[in-house]
Amino acid sequence: LSAGLLRQATYTTTRLGIYSVLLERFGGADGTPPPFLAKAAMGMTAGAAGAFVGTPAEVALIRMTADGRLPPGERRGYRNVFDALVRMAREEGVLTLWRGCIPTMARAVVVNAAQLASYSQSKQFLLDSGHFRDDILCHFCASMISGLVTTAASMPVDIVKTRIQNMRTIDGKPEYRNGLDVLIKVVRYEGFFSLWKGFTPYYARLGPHTVLTFIFLEQMNKWYQRLFLSA
């Protein structure tokens, strides 16, 4: 839990903050939103930056989650996320905190391009339809669509990231060479559709997370504009 909270406090705040700033800066002078491809590029930029900041907590989260499945002699036994970060830096070097940073950033680029851009586009489509107002119902529907798109787009990259961060060293050699090696081995030994294995529970996690993220974000933006920008 501590690692999950620290990950959200670093990764999510960075990506949402950067995306909001970019969306506001590159929107039209009359308030019109930028085109979809521009939103996707902004989402990629925000995701990459957020992933770099959040990778240490991500590595700790992956290790702490997997610890119970390891044989007793191989368990790391981290007490909390800060203990994990300190021990990783001391025992394995500071760069270990950014192990898997490239696939993590690649996943974040895909996730944020899908999540942030699809949410903005879905919200715009719902508002343009004339059946929705800019309220919580609209935010809920747009974020559910965004969660579905994000799940389908991000699962293969998420598998690569997780396996690299949790890989073992066998006979002095790492289990995987790089992200492409993970994909090749998964498809070869487990089948192509195993890249989306666990789609339903993954969406059951990501869907509510996406809904709550955007509902809270929209409400905080609304209160920020009301309390500070209109003052």
Q: Which amino acid is at 79?
A: R
Q: Token pair for residue 135?
A: 């309220």
pLDDT band per the 50, 70, 90 thresholds, residue 220: confident
Verdict on whether the full-model pTM lies above 0.75: no
Q: For residues 205 and 25, give the distance between their C-alpha atoms in angstroms, rounded to a whole number.
A: 32
* pLDDT tens, residue by residue, 174-187: 778 777 888 888 88
Q: For residues 185 and 62, give the distance between their C-alpha atoms in angstroms, rounded to a whole number.
A: 20
The listed range with the strongest mean pLDDT (72-81, 89-98, 162-171, 222-231) is: 89-98
Which residues lie across from 169 on neighbouring strands? Answer: 174
| pLDDT for residue 201 is more than 80 | yes
**74-91: buried (b, 16+ CB within 10 Å) or exposed (e) per residue?**
eeeebeebeebbebbeee
Q: For residues 131 and 9, give the distance between their C-alpha atoms in angstroms, rounded to a whole number.
A: 35
Percentage, residues of the chain above pLDDT 70: 99
* pLDDT tens, residue by residue, 12-59: 999 999 998 898 888 777 767 788 888 889 999 999 999 999 999 999
Q: Which of 191, 112, 128 is nearest to 159 (CA)?
A: 191
Which residues lie across from 123 on neighbouring strands? Answer: none
Q: Given this model, what pLDDT does residue 231 score? A: 60
* pLDDT tens, residue by residue, 105-158: 887 898 888 888 899 899 999 999 989 998 899 999 999 999 989 888 888 888
Q: Are 124 and 33 in contact (CB under 8 A)?
A: yes
Residues 6+ apart with CB under 8 A from 105: 47, 48, 51, 52, 55
Residues 6+ apart with CB under 8 A from 50: 10, 11, 12, 13, 14, 15, 16, 18, 108, 112
Q: For residues 91 and 155, give the distance between their C-alpha atoms in angstroms, rounded to a whole number.
A: 31
3-class secondary-structure state, position 169: strand
